[in-house]
Structure 1
Amino acid sequence: MIKPLGVNFAIRGAGMQPLPGSANVQGGVTLDLRRFIGIDIMNGFVQGGTDELWGKVYEKLDAFGLSVTGSRSAIGGIGGRALQGGLSFFSSSEGFICDNILSFEVVLASGEIINANASDNEDLWRALKGVGNNQGIVTRFDIWTFKQGLIWGGTVFYFPSSFPSQLESLVKELHKPNTSKETHLMLSIGYSFLMGNSIMCLNQLYCTQVFENPPELDPFTKVQPQIDALNIMRLHSVKDAAAEQSASGQAQVRCAYMNITVKADLGTLNAVSEIYTAELKPLKGFENVTLSLTLQPYPVSLMEQSTELRGNSLGLGATEGPLVSILLLSCWESEEYDNAVLEIMKDALDKIKVDATERNQLVPFIYMNYAFRH
């Protein structure tokens, strides 16, 4: 029996966010689940410990021509995505990561160990799909698998003059009645000391079929002018795609995520880009700082699939139409920049929220994996 002792505590798996307080607690007790690992392939699903890394899951499944709706990053643990919603290369056709959990093994506050699935403890099963670690300690996940070969994808770097046309292409694609369920799109604008502090744009694009240069991605892969030396579009395994995504992040630096959700409206997205890039100007020239705004769509097919798989606790529905997650992400090295970076990010997000609200395009949903101290 777990008794209330007035002690602050945190539950830590492999961790998905580098933010202070995300996977630990000061002046309290951290329940570290790092020993809960292991991967077993069953008939139609894979069973993984909460601290197992997605990259290892993909590595094991790739050998059998299988995959799962899992994290786009190889280095995070299963629990960090599967309890908070989670976006995947396969989300357009398969829903959120949490939608694809067949069963959770959960330690309750009483100390009892139960399974939560569609047959047993269904209310808890549905609640855990998106609620985070607030309903118990999840120690194991059973996740649906499907046949999967190589996927086409990678990165395209280009210049900010083309970003408005890319936003137009994104909105047009999301509102098509027959939009592809096999594609995954991410559009970013920002600047990095690695690129000489110049404003640059990046598309991260994937097609989950073994098909080179799919026409659905043409508006995003053929944008001109490009920085050809940095572009990588190719057929590769899910394991390699996830490893590539995690390698693009910066390790051992200070980091902050902030997020809101808006409807897929072109005027709103153009305003988001303009507000954000204008707010960055005071930070240009800061040493070892990378700042980006990333747009990640929630197509209608994603939310329809959530409903098909008996729902989750995120509160999103297909009737709202296609949505776009607005992620502000900053990485920097020096503590002296903490206040400046965070204030700029908060100010930009506040202005974006005001503008989206005035346009009646703001959606009251914050993606937990990207949430700051709202």
Structure 2
Amino acid sequence: MSGLTFEIAATAVLDPACIFAPSSTEDVSRAVMLFSQNGCKFSIKGGGHSNIPGAASIDDGVMMVMSQMKTAEIHPEEGYIHVGAGVLLKDIYSTLDPHNLSAVIGRYGEIGLGLAVGAGISYFSNRDGLAVDNMRNYEVVLADGKVVNANLKENKDLFWALKGGNNNFGVVTRFDFNTVATPGSTYGGLIHYPESSLDKVDDLVYDYHTRQAVEGLLTHAMPQWVYNGSTNDTYNLTPVVYNDNVEELPPIMKPWLDVPHTSSTLAPRTYENLSIYLNEGFGDGLIQEQRVFTVYADKKFYKDVLYKFREWLQNFQDVPGFLGAHLNMPITPRQVHQGLLKGGNALGLEGAGNRTLGVLFFGITFEDPQYKEHILPEHDRFVQSMIELARERGVLYPYIMLTYCGYNQAAIASYGPNNVDRLWQVQRKYDPKAVFQRLVPGGQKLPPQEQQVH
């Protein structure tokens, strides 16, 4: 298709035989039927945010690029927005902002909708739960080309399975997100902390996980530590957001400003502006690798794992363009309960009980592919050693967030054997010929039923 442009993470680039860009659900239906009948392998690309090879691209098959399906329609009386599979999150924010509405979606504007079948942490998650738990409906093209809706009334089992089940059941062509009312703006930005403040930031992270995020339902923060190999320096750059029309942070979030910091860009903003601003910190075209695991909130473990990661990163300071990133994101008991109230999901988070979980992300980027064979396995081994440390200390929770996982991490298996069994039941019902297991090889697939994360 002439003029078609799209982005994809450099690490995930493969060599498809051709690219197909549907402009309607009917186009997708005919294509999937054709692929199924002819045994043609294909991939499904929305925003192309994942750096996992094959998640959005494919070798020698058809890459179906959804970027032409960018409709966004508000239904204010019914309380939802209806969007096409090619929409980026900034498009949703820009559509909703003028109506004093928003949605429980991701935080970075240039990201697509994969989080809506993975998990999805939002500015509003402390109050409303994960993105998957704020879905009203999925429009899905099944393997035989049939178009169905999945929601709390129709195809309820498929609706449950899509909330974490990724691309294993069909092609989602349209997403209906429940909307939330806003006062017209939010208050947020970035706070930059120098290396000398990191110990105090570490203390603050635990306070955010166990107090601020629990008691302050309008709060949102995403502590992120960045290591720069060229300077051998680590700093913290934390997005801090309060979801109200205010001119300063309320008392519950004031500790973020009490820690000595280099700069702050906190200001009233629209959600579109905030999502674009936060996205500006992401680089394109680099080698990227990510890993994730989950623990019960534990102050000492949080500090120890960060110290060990900073120490490990220094081994690669001479690699051109080498950067390391560590994020620590809470899943509070309320977030889990919101999922249960809204029909449940496949993620298996209920076992956490009344304890906050911390989702720990470890990412690296660098410029020269010649270092891949050495650095990527070392990164894998380091994160695995931290998982073992968490297990030894009794703080490991067996959940791997799909939207942040590494290419060989068993995210869906981590949902637990009962949920994996349910996912397989849904798969056999809606895709009896296993088209989306055989012909869509990329992304997180359903694991063998005996496989689980211990």
Q: TM-score, with normalisation over the residues of structure 1?
A: 0.93
Asked whether 1:182 is paired with 2:218, we answer yes
Q: What are the superposed Cα offsets for residues 15-56 of structure 1, whole Å, 9 maximum, x if unpaired?
A: 222343221111323233222220001131100001111111
Asked whether 1:76 is paired with 2:118, we answer no
| SS of residue in 2 equivalent to 1:343 | helix
Partners of 1:6 and 1:359 lie apart in 2 by 48
Query: Aligned letter for 1:51?
Result: G
Q: Pick from 112, 115, 118: which aligns with 2:146? A: 112
| SS of residue in 2 equivalent to 1:63 | helix
Q: What are the superposed Cα offsets for residues 39-79 of structure 1, whole Å, 9 maximum, x if unpaired?
A: 0011311000011111111111111111111111111222x
Partners of 1:278 and 1:305 lie apart in 2 by 38
Q: 8 Å contact 2:229–2:316 — kept in the other structure?
A: no
| SS of residue in 1 equivalent to 2:154 | coil
Task: Give me the identity figure in percent.
Answer: 27
Query: Aligned letter for 2:393?
Result: R
Asked whether 1:216 is paired with 2:252, we answer yes
Asked whether 1:346 is paired with 2:380, we answer yes
Counterpart position of 1:357: 391
Counterpart position of 2:433: none
Q: Which segment drifts farther, 28-37 or 346-355?
A: 28-37
Q: 8 Å contact 1:181–1:301 — kept in the other structure?
A: no
Q: 8 Å contact 1:197–1:284 — kept in the other structure?
A: yes
Counterpart position of 2:334: 301
Query: Aligned letter for 1:191?
Result: Y
Partners of 1:123 and 1:176 lie apart in 2 by 35
Q: 8 Å contact 1:280–1:344 — kept in the other structure?
A: no
Query: Aligned letter for 1:323?
Result: L
Asked whether 1:366 is paired with 2:397, we answer no
Aligned length: 369
Counterpart position of 1:207: 242
Partners of 1:182 and 1:82 lie apart in 2 by 21
Partners of 2:355 and 2:38 lie apart in 1 by 46
Alpha-carbon offset, residue 7 of structure 1: 4.5
1:132-211 equivalent positions in 2, closer than 5 A = 132-148=166-182, 149-176=184-211, 179-192=215-228, 196-211=231-246
Q: Pick from 266, 270, 275: which aligns with 1:237? A: 270
For structure 2, list consecutive stretches of 5 or more residues without a partner in the other structure: 1-32, 410-454
| SS of residue in 2 equivalent to 1:286 | coil
Q: 8 Å contact 1:151–1:238 — kept in the other structure?
A: yes
Partners of 2:359 and 2:274 lie apart in 1 by 21
Q: Which segment drifts farther, 165-174 or 247-256?
A: 165-174
Counterpart position of 1:61: 96
Alpha-carbon offset, residue 123 of structure 1: 0.8
Partners of 1:89 and 1:330 lie apart in 2 by 24
Counterpart position of 2:343: 310
Query: Aligned letter for 2:293?
Result: I
| SS of residue in 2 equivalent to 1:153 | strand
Partners of 1:197 and 1:168 lie apart in 2 by 23
Partners of 1:271 and 1:201 lie apart in 2 by 16
Counterpart position of 2:43: 10
| SS of residue in 1 equivalent to 2:180 | strand
Q: What are the superposed Cα offsets for residues 145-165 of structure 1, whole Å, 9 maximum, x if unpaired?
A: 121121111111113343333
Query: Aligned letter for 1:297?
Result: P
Partners of 1:314 and 1:221 lie apart in 2 by 34
Q: What are the superposed Cα offsets for residues 171-216 of structure 1, whole Å, 9 maximum, x if unpaired?
A: 234333952111112112231257x331212222111112222222
| SS of residue in 1 equivalent to 2:59 | coil
Q: Which segment drifts farther, 28-37 or 92-101?
A: 28-37
Partners of 2:399 and 2:382 lie apart in 1 by 18
* 1:143–1:156 CA distance, 2 compared to 1 (3 A): same
Q: 8 Å contact 1:173–1:179 — kept in the other structure?
A: no
| SS of residue in 2 equivalent to 1:280 | helix
Q: TM-score, with normalisation over the residues of structure 2?
A: 0.77
Alpha-carbon offset, residue 359 of structure 1: 0.8
| SS of residue in 2 equivalent to 1:89 | coil
Counterpart position of 2:434: none
| SS of residue in 2 equivalent to 1:176 | helix
**How much is the aligned-residue C-alpha RMSD, in angstroms?**
1.9
Partners of 2:62 and 2:96 lie apart in 1 by 35
Counterpart position of 1:324: 358
Q: Which segment drifts farther, 284-293 or 359-368?
A: 284-293
Alpha-carbon offset, residue 320 of structure 1: 5.3
Q: What are the superposed Cα offsets for residues 107-127 of structure 1, whole Å, 9 maximum, x if unpaired?
A: 111211011111111111111
Asked whether 1:40 is paired with 2:76, we answer no
Partners of 2:83 and 2:369 lie apart in 1 by 37
Q: 8 Å contact 1:203–1:220 — kept in the other structure?
A: no
Asked whether 1:91 is paired with 2:125, we answer yes
Alpha-carbon offset, residue 295 of structure 1: 0.9
Query: Aligned letter for 1:164?
Result: D
Q: 8 Å contact 1:38–1:52 — kept in the other structure?
A: yes
Alpha-carbon offset, residue 6 of structure 1: 5.2
Partners of 2:125 and 2:375 lie apart in 1 by 31
Q: 8 Å contact 2:126–2:332 — kept in the other structure?
A: yes
Write 1 or 2 for the structure with the bigger share of strand: 1
Query: Aligned letter for 1:309?
Result: K
